[in-house]
Structure 1
Amino acid sequence: MEKVALITGCSSGIGDATARSLLHEEWTVVATARNTEDLEGLADAGCETAELDVTKPAQCTNVVDDVVERHGRLDCLVNNAGYAQLGPLEDVPTRELHRQFDVNVYGPHRLIRAALPHMREREDGTIVNVSSVSGRVATPGMGVYNGSKFALEGMSDALRGEVSDYGIDVAVVEPGPVETNFTDRAEAEIGGLDRSGAYEQLYAFFEDASAVNGVGAVPPEAVAEVITEAAVSPDPRSRYPVGRAGRFGVAARFLPDRWLDAAYALVRRFSR
């Protein structure tokens, strides 16, 4: 019997590439997004598709239950849906902080809670949470996004120990910059802030698309390949940094805070 994966955030980028990658592995793939019209290409490729807004609790539960009812199993949940709210912490309203966590943290939590009873019953399953290098090292102007990904990393670490006795694996995938429309969304989010006027140099830095996307960005297919590796492995690693920038960024968490602060100050100085 084919294994079954449920993937969130499949309208483009990493989610789309992951759905196609798992299809290539001959899995049954249920690709989801808020707008199913964005999934037509995946449907044509052979995916099942479903509408899913991860901020809607009932919809999260219903989608998972529907997958299990139709296929009798859920082998892998890939929590990929997410976005970045950039901006200095002072300038980001609390309502936007809540919205960031609603998608990047509460959304995965809703789906994990819906999936675990089914995985426990079969004593098998893998949960792959797509985090970021930003979930391991924080940078000025990204505190809200950092906070959401740090939270996802912490929940994943706790969950891994909680479910290991039930044959369930938890893996975190940590890309660096990725060549997707993630940058456009991030720029839109930062553009809607009511600026205090105290951080214009920081805004100028982030309004340069290269500052968000970064040198060394990898294609979404590279991230999808790593997610697939975690999904198909009988003993996945707890963490998978992706790309040179991702591996370097994750390693940076071991540097002393003073070194990191000095590095950020140097970047600001040369970006003036």
Structure 2
Amino acid sequence: MAKTVLVTGASSGIGKATAIYLSQKGYNVYGAARRAEKLQELIKYGVNIIALDITRDDSIVFCIKKIISEVGKVDVLINSAGLGSYGSLEDVPIAEAKNQLEINLFGAARLIQLVLPGMRENKYGKIINISSVGGKVGLPMGSWYHASKFAIEGLSDALRNEVREFGVDVIVIEPGGTKSEMIAIGAADLMRVSGNTVYSKLALGIEKMYSSMEKNAVDPVVIAKLILKGIEANHPKTRYIGGAMAKPMLFIRRILSDKAFDKMLMSQMK
């Protein structure tokens, strides 16, 4: 019997590519997202679609109950729903910061809570959390985005050792530059929030960097293939890295001191 996979954030980017790719590989895939109209395209690839607002507990509970009522279990959870909202820490309203954490962290955690009982009972499960190079490297103007991704890294490390004995694997995916509407949306959001403040010069530098990143970004199916590796490995890695500049950036971050890395980083934003 095919394994059942739930992919959140399936309306675009990595989530969409992963839902399609895994369905083509024979998995029973449920693709979930808030924008239900954008999920319709997935039907032709054999993906089951569910409207899911990751910020609402009733929506999250309904999503998991629906899958369990139809097929009895969730074998693989892929937390791909995400928001990249930018601006200086001083400029970003706390309400927007909380929304980002609801989507990138708390929504993922709630889904994990709901699928774990079944995974423990079946002595099998894969929880795959989509982090980012931004879960290891913090860029200016992205404080809340990076806070959410650093948090998902820490959550995954703690969870991995909590559930190991039950046959459940916890895997972190760390993409670099990947083609997605999030890059353009993030750049526009940055200028909306900080483009006319005392941080405008830095905001313009970051926007320029985003434009360069967009040109070099890889197709999200590259990340979908990494996710499949993690699902099919009997003893998966704790982290899989892919996408434009991901490995070089993490290597440089590892070998440089904080101040040397800051200097290198800021030189790219002039």
Q: Normalising TM by the smaller chain, what interval? A: over 0.9
Query: Who is 1:172 aligned against?
Result: 172
Q: 1:75 to 1:165 in 2, by over 3 A?
A: same
Tell me whether 1:21 sits opposite 2:18 in the alignment.
no
**Which deviations, in whole Å up to 9, do the C-alpha atoms of 1:25-66 show, x marking residues without a partner?**
201000011122111111121111100011111211221122
Query: Who is 2:93 aligned against?
Result: 93
Q: Give the distance between the partners of 2:24 and 2:266, measured in 1 at CA.
A: 46
- How far apart are residue 263 of structure 1 and its match? 1.2
Normalising by structure 2, report the TM-score.
Answer: 0.94
- How far apart are residue 133 of structure 1 and its match? 0.1
AA in 2 matched with 1:60: I
SS in 2 for 1:89: coil
SS in 1 for 2:216: coil
Partners of 1:91 and 1:196 within 8 A in 2: no
Query: Who is 2:208 aligned against?
Result: 208
- How far apart are residue 194 of structure 1 and its match? 5.8
Partners of 1:5 and 1:74 within 8 A in 2: yes
**Which deviations, in whole Å up to 9, do the C-alpha atoms of 1:134-173 show, x marking residues without a partner?**
0011111211111110000000000000000100000000
SS in 2 for 1:172: strand
Q: Give unmatched runs, 5+ long, in structure 1.
A: none
**Which deviations, in whole Å up to 9, do the C-alpha atoms of 1:206-258 show, x marking residues without a partner?**
33374473563211110111112112222211000113511122223322101
Query: Who is 2:181 aligned against?
Result: 181
Q: Give the distance between the partners of 1:44 and 1:73, measured in 2 at CA.
A: 23
Q: Give the distance between the partners of 2:204 and 2:244, measured in 1 at CA.
A: 26
Query: Who is 2:259 aligned against?
Result: 258
> Which structure 1 residue ranges, 4+ long, deviate > 6 Å from structure 2?
none
Query: Who is 1:134 aligned against?
Result: 134
Q: Give the distance between the partners of 1:258 and 1:215, measured in 2 at CA.
A: 28
**Which deviations, in whole Å up to 9, do the C-alpha atoms of 1:49-98 show, x marking residues without a partner?**
10001111121122112212211221100000001111111111211111
Query: Who is 2:236 aligned against?
Result: 236
Number of equivalences:
269
Partners of 1:178 and 1:219 within 8 A in 2: yes
Q: Give the distance between the partners of 2:252 and 2:143, measured in 1 at CA.
A: 17
Normalising by structure 1, report the TM-score.
Answer: 0.93
Q: How does 1:1-272 map to 2 (within 5 A)?
A: 1-193=1-193, 197-208=197-208, 210-211=210-211, 213-214=213-214, 216-254=216-254, 255-268=256-269, 271=270
SS in 1 for 2:197: coil
Query: Over aligned residue pairs, what C-alpha RMSD do you find?
Result: 1.7
Partners of 1:76 and 1:126 within 8 A in 2: yes
AA in 1 matched with 2:31: A
Q: 1:262 to 1:206 in 2, by over 3 A?
A: closer
Q: Give the distance between the partners of 1:152 and 1:143, measured in 2 at CA.
A: 14
Q: Give the distance between the partners of 1:263 and 1:191, measured in 2 at CA.
A: 23
Q: Give the distance between the partners of 1:106 and 1:252, measured in 2 at CA.
A: 30
Q: Give the distance between the partners of 1:253 and 1:75, measured in 2 at CA.
A: 35
AA in 2 matched with 1:68: I
Q: Give the distance between the partners of 2:253 and 2:241, measured in 1 at CA.
A: 13
